[in-house]
Amino acid sequence: MIMNPASGLFMSTLMAGTFITICSKSWLGAWVGLEINLLSFIPLMINTSNQRTTEAALKYFLTQALASLILLLGLISSAIFSEMMHNLSHYSQNILIMALLIKMGSAPFHFWFPGVMEGLDWTNCIILSTWQKIAPLSLLSYVISMEWIITTTVVLSSLMGSLGGLNQTSLRKILAYSSINHLSWMIMSLNYGELLWITYFSIYSLLSITIMVIFSSHQMYHINQMFLKMNDPTLKHMTFISLLSLGGLPPLLGFLPKWLVILKMVEMNQIMIASTLIFTALVTLYFYMRISYSALLLNNSPQTWNLNTHPKTHIATQSYIVLSLFGMPLLLPLMSWL
C-alpha cells in the first residue's frame, strides 16, 4: 500500500466506519458503518502496478456486497415479522449471523478469504486479518447464541483453518488459514463475555502484526524465500518464537487466551467442542513450525552482498519477544476478571 494523502483519507474513513458500527444504536446505523468501512478499504487494496490486487479487491467487494445484501434481508424480515427493529425473530437472527460470518470470512463461508489475502501486500493483509474483523465480531456478540449455526461454524472453522494450511507454501495463505482457525476460538469466546473475546482478539492481533511486519520488512511471501533472506540468527529465533506463540504453545503469550477459553468451555461442559479446538490447534502448530524449519535447521552462511539488516525491526521484535516470554505472568491477573 502506497502512503499518500488519499491513502490517509481512506484510512481515516476506514477507521471511522468501524467506530460508527460499534457505537451505533440501531442495526441500520451499523450497516451504514459497515458500508463506509467497505468502500474505504477497496481503494487501499488496489495497486496499479500489481494486477493481482485488483482481482483481490473485486473478490472482496463482491463478497462483502453479498453479505451486506443478506444483512439487509435480515433487517427487513425483522421489521416485517416483529414490527420492531430491536426485537429479532429466530429466523432473522440466523440471517444476520450468516451475513456477519460471511463478512469476517468464517467457515463455511471462508472461500474468499485465502484468495484475497494472497493478492494483497502485507500492510493490507494486516488490516484484513485484524481491523476488518472488529465490526463483524462486535455485531455478532449482540445476536450470538449457542445454536446449531454457531456450533457448526466453530467446528468447521477450526477444521478448515487447520487442514487448509497444511499443503500451502504461500506465507499469506498460511496466515489466512491461521486466521480462520483463530476465528473459531474468537466466536466461542463471544459466548462468555466481551472482556474474553477482546482479550483474545488483542493478543491475536499483536502476534499477527508482529509476524507480518517481519515478513514485510524482508519481502518474504513464500516459505522457500526464508532460506535465502533470514540470515540473522536473532531474527530466526524471534520469528520462531512468534509463530509458536501464535499457535498457542505454553508458556508463551498466545497460550493465555486459549487457556481462558478452554477453562470456560470446560466450565460450561462443552467438552467435545473444546477437544476439537485443541486438536486442530496442534495441526496449526505443525505448519507454523514448517515455516521456520528451513530457516532454523538448515545451516546457511550469510552473504555480505545479500545481508539486509533492519535495526528498527530488530528493536520491535526484541521488545515483542520479551513480552511473549514474560507476558504470561503479567497477564495472569486477567483471570480474576473473567
What's the pTM? 0.87
Averaged pLDDT for residues 176-194: 93
Weakest mean pLDDT among 162-171, 199-208, 260-269, 322-331: 322-331
pLDDT of residue 14: 95
pLDDT tens, residue by residue, 265-317: 999 999 999 999 999 999 999 888 887 776 666 555 554 444 444 454 455 55
Report the mean per-residue pLDDT for the chain.
Answer: 84
Q: Which of 135, 30, 24, 134 is nearest to 74 (CA)?
A: 30
For the chain, the three-class secondary structure string (H helix, E strand, C coil) is CCCCHHHHHHHHHHHHHHHHHHHCCCHHHHHHHHHHHHHHHHHHHCECCEHHHHHHHHHHHHHHHHHHHHHHHHHHHHHHHHCCCCCCCHHHHHHHHHHHHHHHCCCCCCCCHHHHHHCCCHHHHHHHHCHHHHHHHHHHHHHCCCCHHHHHHHHHHHHHHHHCCCCCCEHHHHHHHHHHHHHHHHHHHHCCCHHHHHHHHHHHHHHHHHHHHHHHHCCCCECCHHHHHCCCHHHHHHHHHHHHHHHCCCCCCCHHHHHHHHHHHHHCCCHHHHHHHHHHHHHHHHHHHHHHHHHHHCCCCCCCCCCCCCHHHHHHHHHHHHHHHHHHHHHHHHHHHC
Give the pLDDT confidence score for residue 306 in this predicted structure: 46
86-97 pLDDT, tens digit per residue, is 555 677 888 899
Distance from C-alpha of 29 to C-alpha of 10, rounded to nearest angstrom: 20
The pLDDT score that the predictor gives to residue 147 is 78
Lowest mean pLDDT among 31-40, 145-154, 184-193, 198-207: 145-154
CA gap 5, 248 in Å, rounded: 39
Predicted confidence band of residue 327 (pLDDT cuts 50, 70, 90): low
Q: Which residues contact 5 (CB under 8 A, 6 or more apart)?
A: none
65-78 per-position pLDDT tens digit: 999 999 998 888 87
What is the average pLDDT across 213-232?
82
Find the mean pLDDT for residues 236-254.
85
Residue-number span of the structural domain to which 258 is assigned: 5-337
Whole-angstrom Cα distance, residue 26 to residue 42? Answer: 25
The tally of domains found in the chain comes to 1
- For the ranges 52-66, 158-172, 288-302, 311-325, which has the lowest average pLDDT? 311-325
What band does 5 get if pLDDT is binned at 50, 70 and 90? confident
**Mean per-residue pLDDT, 319-325:** 57
Arithmetic mean of pLDDT, 216-239: 80
Predicted confidence (pLDDT) at residue 325 exceeds the cutoff of 60: no
Rounded Cα distance, 325 and 91, in Å: 46
